[in-house]
Amino acid sequence: MRLFSRRFGLVAALAAGIAAPALAQAPASAPVRGGALTIGVESDFEGFDPIRAGVYSNSTVTAASLIYDTLMRLDDKGNLIPALALSMTPNEDGSVWVAKLRPGVKFHDGTPFTAQSVADHFNRLLDPANRFAGRAYIAIEKVEVGDDLTAVFKMRGPNAALPRTLAQPTVVTLIISVKQANEKGADYNRNPVGTGPFVFKEWRAADRLVAERNPDYWDKDKPYLDRVTVRPLPDSDARYASLVKGDVQVVWEDRAENIVKAKKDKNLVVLQWVGSGALVIPLNTQREPLNDKRVRQAVSMSLNRKANAAVLSQNLRPVYDDPYAPSSGIVCKDTGTLGYNPEAAKKLIADYGKPVKLTMTVTATPRGREGAQVFQADMKKVGIDVEIKPVDQTQLVKEALSRDFQVTGWRIIDLADVDPQMFANFHSKSPINFSGYNNAEVDRLLLIGRTSLDENKRKEAYCDLIKILNDDAVWLWSGSNIDFAITRKNVHGIPALRGGAVQVEGAWLSK
């Protein structure tokens, strides 16, 4: 099936970078129909109306992927495959993309899925009146209707990466029923309707979300499961214990001790995905004392990132000097990293001439607390006092997006192309630039990365960009983006954990 014009096939392949190894589940035998699956995730859900939720954590993407679909998908090797769209074709310069939609698809309420549905979804997110922060992630100007099964994406400039960007499930790309959102108003956020493999049944806050098999799903062979429950279990040790006991059959996991234990347990299977992006520590450049570059550089040089990552992750997560990671295909010979240099940091603090006190906001989880304690200890060595502020994940996101923080924990999620995240996080006009960073040269380089059809120019721009970001010490790269899930050994068919999401439209249980 023709997904791209010949001219853009190479461009899209290059934009994807080198596919990282994915330890997804190999089928044990023919899939078995029936059964119920329970997934344990890290946090409760922000909600399922992207306007009201603002962002989707990987926990929310896991749940939302039950109910919603994307236009395209990526297989475990990074190849584009059709989903709601059968193909996406660009014009000569990539400023317009035409999506041909799959016929016969229906929303869970029986409404036909058409090009108008696509236009309504994306145009709602792009409408400035809705103040949706996530619109910075995709460079779409508007979506128009060609005919019932033809959606036309008008871009803000040339864009080679759109189909790959739309293939990853995110707060932007998972298509909702705007008709239902308009009819239900605020209630839609807790009662979503989509075209996905499962139909939403209930959501008990901080307890569980339940979805049941969609008998009219467009992929007639799927899903295999009758029922899926997603349970927020913020304590990773309790989450792991529930898996071992059999109360849940799949968990998202990032606690190194549990991953190491699981690899030794014959009843469990560890899934791993090495993606682009990074675990990061954003610094708010608009808040004192971090509005002073000397203080930010001192913080950067005080943090023993590689030693800390080795301890916290038991060497499961290497640390790089940029947020791209090898899977992006962007390899910079010179990143301009400041390196670990506590003596130089002390001199910068002395030059600043005032006591430095910081508050670090983290998730109230073992992972969040442990990372904050390591940060606190490193800062103490150079005379920086750090108070740790643990909050639930929903609150952390809210405070970050409103710039109500000094230091926080975050993640640049794994995407098939680095443009959406880099542009959203660091362009001065982006509503998701929650560090308040403003640098004209960075803006210029980000535009090259977004619009150039020359892959070498894009890579050069991103390497020049990282030297500036590292010198300005805006965000600190604290770990690589490697996602893990652990399953009971009778669980099969879970694909690569892109973006940390556990997707189960093709999952099944052996007897």
pLDDT tens digits for range 413-466: 888 889 888 999 999 999 889 999 999 999 999 999 988 878 899 999 999 999
pLDDT on residue 7: 34
Mean pLDDT value across residues 402-406: 96
pLDDT, tens digit (0-9, with 9 covering 90-100), for 286-343? 999 999 999 999 999 999 999 999 888 888 888 999 999 877 889 999 999 999 999 9
Is 306 among the domain residues?
yes
pLDDT, tens digit (0-9, with 9 covering 90-100), for 218-249? 999 999 999 999 999 999 999 999 999 999 99
Mean pLDDT value across residues 277-289: 96
Tokens of 214: 């969609």
Is 310 among the domain residues?
yes
Closest by CA position to 163, among listed 286, 269, 78: 78
- CATH code of the domain in which 468 resides: 3.10.105.10
Q: Cα 144 to chain center, whole Å?
A: 27
- For residue 324, give Cα distances in angstroms to 126, 183, 274, 368, 466: 27, 41, 12, 22, 9
Confidence bin at 259 (pLDDT 50/70/90): very high
Same domain, 60 and 81: yes
Number of domains in the chain: 2
Confidence bin at 21 (pLDDT 50/70/90): very low
Q: Three-state DSSP class for 102?
A: coil
Indicate whether 3 pLDDT > 70. Answer: no
Query: Which tops the pLDDT comparison, 18 or 219?
Result: 219
Domain containing 443 equals 276-481
Mean pLDDT value across residues 62-71: 98
- For residue 421, give Cα distances in angstroms to 170, 247, 414: 12, 36, 9
pLDDT on residue 136: 72
Per the CB < 8 A criterion, the answer to whether 113 and 84 are in contact is yes
pLDDT on residue 318: 87
Is 1 among the domain residues?
no
CB contact set of 139 (below 8 Å; sequence gap of 6+):
155, 156, 157, 159, 162, 419, 423, 450, 451
Residue percentage of the chain with pLDDT more than 70: 95
Same domain, 211 and 357: no
Same domain, 249 and 292: no
Confidence bin at 79 (pLDDT 50/70/90): confident
The rounded mean pLDDT for the chain is 91
Per the CB < 8 A criterion, the answer to whether 211 and 228 are in contact is yes
Mean pLDDT value across residues 66-89: 94
Confidence bin at 23 (pLDDT 50/70/90): low
Q: Three-state DSSP class for 46?
A: coil
Same domain, 256 and 296: no
Confidence bin at 27 (pLDDT 50/70/90): low
Q: Three-state DSSP class for 192?
A: coil
Query: Which tops the pLDDT comparison, 65 or 254?
Result: 65
Is 96 among the domain residues?
yes
Tokens of 432: 């998701």
Same domain, 323 and 256: no
What size, in residues, is the chain? 511
